[in-house]
Amino acid sequence: MDYIGEHLLPGQLGHFFIVLSLVASLVATFCYFRSTQSKIDDESARWKKLARYAFITEVVSVLAIFSILFYIIHNHLFEYHYAWKHSSRSLEFKYMLACFWEGQEGSFLLWSFWHCILGLILIKSSKKWEAPVMTVVSFAQFALATMIAGIYIFNWKMGTNPFILLRDSGVFDNAPALHLNLDVNQPLRPDYMSSIKDGNDLNPLLQNYWMVIHPPVLFLGFASTIVPFAFALAGLWKRIYGEWTKPALPWGLFSAAVLGVGIMMGAMWAYESLTFGGYWAWDPVENASLVPWLVLISGIHTLLIYKHSGHSLRATHLFFILAFGFVLYSTFLTRSGILGESSVHAFTDLGMNFQLLSFLLVFVLPALLLFFRRYKEIPTIQKEENTSSREFWMFIGSLVFFLSAIVIIGKTSLPVFNKIFGTKIAPPEDAEYAYNSIQVYVAIILALLTAVTQYLKYKETGRGYFWKKILTPTILAVILSGLLFAFATINYTKKGPVFLGSIWMAVICSIYTIVANASYIWLGIKGSLRLSGGSIAHVGFGMVLLGILISSSNKEVISNNIGGIPAPLGEGEDPRENLTLVKDVNMDMGKYTITYLGDSAHPKKQLSYYRIHFKSKDGKEEFTLMPNSFVNYKGNEGLMSNPDARHYWNHDVFTYITSISNPDSEQDTAAFRHANLKPGDSLFYSNGFLILQELKRKDSLPVEIFGPGGSLYEAPIKIFSKSGSVYSVTSRLAVAKGEMMSLPDTITSESLVLRLQKVNPDNSIELGVKESNAVMKYITLKAYKFPYINLLWFGVAITAIGIIISMIRRIQLNRLKGSGS
């Protein structure tokens, strides 16, 4: 049956290039493998040439798939399930790429895209290592191609195809209105597309600029870990055990810089888009991305040990294998659905668990088997390292990084453990503290080692030499720590004095790291920028630790609601930490007077921006923040809020919306009820009571306004609220030119309207009282102060710059030595 309005050509081209990609990557793998195995140079060169053609065909195919899928999304071709599920007509162009990799298929394609780019660079630069390294890369491309194939082999479906049509996806199985004869067992109506007006849209929390740049950088980091893995595997495969380390080191440094930045971009997204009041929550998906980076850092440092002393080559092989292995394991964790209940970031299960597990095992098991088989062949120095040597303490630091990674991945893998063994072990009640209580001591050890180790020489260091070099930065660090201790505070007391003392020790050690490594640039390498990459990276690392410790431990809630208006809040929110702001009513919040000025709506979706004006009480500063919220969006009841923050050099003011007045109550349907009162009488309403103070009459009034015999009655009323607040209003009734006129008085914060309607001969009044939700338009705000959080972000940048400087230097050294890298 032909269906009206469908555009089938893009999908058909997409299917073709997926199959071409699958075949080309398999051919490239086979040809590179034969080139590696061939012992005849001419034969090896012919296989390599054929492999290059196949890999370039794979690159063209992936770029074509990428382009076609983006074309489908950009042109709102909702007959395709991927475009319908992840985009909409109201989605801004800047978020088109974000919806591209929101789904599993798009993220696998992004991963494959980076492998293509890295593969082309390796073909150009890796020379004699090209064949074995590209065998690994091409096979990874084949594995990724199977993830988006969507091909049935007998009754087993291999992968999920991003070009599947909406009518074939099962979405309409329970929609009889779209089927012939209103019967779901009948085919779809030929004009079913006329009922598909819009797509499902991008997840509101992903509609943030960080989600446009964070995933590509993170996936480049993930993808690049295959390169040091491939070099390590090539060294084992070809039994060339030391030479591979020269080209592998720059790639390891590149991967560490990019993956680290990608992870922290995710932290920035969480800080700016999520509302848990921070940037890291030890979420399983966050942990799964951090662990490969920790192991990779271990491998880089053991590789440096090997280059300078001959030690730790075995450990380097293992760490590079495990770094990539943990990338694959994190892929299994986040995409298998096993973390669905324990992580807000994980993908749902698409029925690909067998493939995901195979992807992990087919790379890691052979690599580990080859490693242990060749273990005794890997050269090592029998003499143990001297405890006064740099390599000894570098290895200890690498081991601490690795053990930290094992602890983190062990805790993160609890759902896997429960699944395999049928247990029901519950995660700790306070997951954040369960991690922090261990990692704070890891931070102390690493900070100390990072401060001291560079002042040691390789192989052996004289005691006099060491103390002469380390004394000045140590004294300076002690002075700075003393000043911090005297004039600063750490407010994190809720876990007791021992943990507080540990935080202080970590802070002091972080300062030591910064001072010692900054000093080493001049004391150790005479200010040479070219040689200072490691020291710069270590300074940045110390800043990251210090920024984390200070901003997290001194995080302060400033939206304290003391005697204010309570409001309905979501689960987990403390009413004492959420300040209700009534429109156009000033409220005190710390050193600020803040005012809710109003809101504006997105023209195409249920997204509102709330204007909140801040004015310091000393009058020196004013600014406006605009946090926003999706309200009852796409069937999600309630709010999905995005924060807004004011950035200073030494702190951030971070705000988000936790409650709003009911949008459905803005139509005023309440009616006045009438009560007769005499001066001194009281009248109760739902939130308190009011007292009529007295009744006044004025007769000397302008004739041109009130006419002859006009009068004005005034009734001062005092209102006592349940919250303890007291309000005074004066209701007025005018008799002007024979007409009676009364204007209502509104007490916004009480949702109360009063109107003086009549004055009786006995000096009593008839008062109209109305309680209406439409009177009070409000929002509830939560605000934090994050001190010195910019130290964290700046430290990330400094760390990455230092690693890149080291990478460039290693590339230059390799070229000078003609290493073939």
Tell me the average pLDDT across 610-632: 91
Band (pLDDT 50/70/90 cuts) for residue 314 is very high
> What is the model's pLDDT at position 820?
44
Write the secondary structure of 512-559 as one string of H (helix), E (strand) and C (coil).
HHHHHHHHHHHHCCCCCCCCCHHHHHHHHHHHHHHHHHHHHHCCEECC
DSSP 20-55: HHHHHHHHHHHHHHHHHH--SHHHHHHHHHHHHHHH
* Nearest C-alpha neighbor of 193 from the set 453, 340, 426, 3: 3
Distance CA(150)–CA(64), nearest Å, equals 17
* Nearest C-alpha neighbor of 385 from the set 440, 305, 448, 325: 305
Query: Which stretch, 169-173, 440-444, 482-486, 639-643, has highest mean pLDDT?
Result: 440-444
Query: Which stretch, 402-411, 526-535, 572-581, has highest mean pLDDT?
Result: 402-411
> What is the model's pLDDT at position 821?
41
Q: What is the pLDDT of residues 107-149, one digit of tens each?
A: 999 999 999 999 999 999 998 999 999 999 999 999 999 999 9
DSSP label at 347?
Answer: P
For residue 403, which amino acid is it?
L
> What is the model's pLDDT at position 691?
94
Answer for the pair 207, 87: CB distance below 8 angstroms, yes or no.
no
On the question of pLDDT at 527 being above 80, the answer is no
Q: What is the pLDDT of residues 349-399, one digit of tens each?
A: 566 788 999 999 999 999 999 999 999 999 998 888 899 999 999 999 999
Q: Residues for the chain: how many in total? A: 821
Distance CA(444)–CA(481), nearest Å, equals 14
696-698 and 765-771 beta bridge pairing: unpaired
Distance CA(211)–CA(99), nearest Å, equals 9
Find tokens 């260091």 and name the residue.
Answer: 461
Phi, psi of 160 (to 5 degrees): -125, 125
Find tokens 């919806």 and name the residue.
Answer: 99
Answer for the pair 457, 520: CB distance below 8 angstroms, yes or no.
no
Whole-number percent of the chain with pLDDT over 70: 94
On the question of pLDDT at 27 being above 60, the answer is yes
Distance CA(244)–CA(820), nearest Å, equals 10
Average pLDDT of every residue of the chain: 89
Distance CA(377)–CA(382), nearest Å, equals 13
Band (pLDDT 50/70/90 cuts) for residue 317 is very high
Q: What is the pLDDT of residues 775-803, one digit of tens each?
A: 567 889 999 998 999 999 999 999 999 99
Distance of CA 366 to the CA centre of its chain: 34
> What is the model's pLDDT at position 249?
96
On the question of pLDDT at 49 being above 80, the answer is yes
For residue 29, which amino acid is it?
T
In the chain, where are the structural domains located?
Answer: 1-207, 248-427, 450-554+788-821, 579-661+779-785, 675-743+753-759+767-776
Q: What is the pLDDT of residues 245-257, one digit of tens each?
A: 999 999 999 999 9
For residue 600, which amino acid is it?
S
* Nearest C-alpha neighbor of 262 from the set 162, 319, 203, 330: 330
pTM of the shown model: 0.86
526: left (phi over 0), alpha (psi -120 to 50) or beta: left
Distance CA(821)–CA(818), nearest Å, equals 8
